[in-house]
Amino acid sequence: MVKTALMVAFIIVSVVLTVVILFQEGKSAGLGSLGGQNLESYWSKNKGRSREGMLVRATSVLVLLFFVLAAVLCIGSL
């Protein structure tokens, strides 16, 4: 019963993690990085409070949960 619940939670976390990763933007700076330009903007200074910042935080939490569930399921199968 508990193993089935953990398996369902593991599958849900896996699907949500995939979706969150696909929603994120690329980290490349485009052609501006070739010239060494580093433009500080309001957007870059407040990125942690933006949608992108929330996605990065959600990814970190989901990855941690993914590995914990994977370890618990692996240990439970021994």
pTM, rounded to two decimals: 0.72
Q: Using one digit for the tens of pLDDT, what is the confidence trace for 33-66?
A: 555 555 556 556 566 678 888 999 999 999 999 9
What residues contact 65, with CB distance under 8 A and at least 6 apart? 13
Residue 56 Rama label (left phi>0; alpha psi -120 to 50; beta): alpha
Q: Using one digit for the tens of pLDDT, what is the confidence trace for 19-29?
A: 999 999 876 65
What's the count of helices (H) and strands (E) in the chain, helices before strands?
3, 0
Are 57 and 21 in contact, with CB atoms under 8 Å apart?
A: no
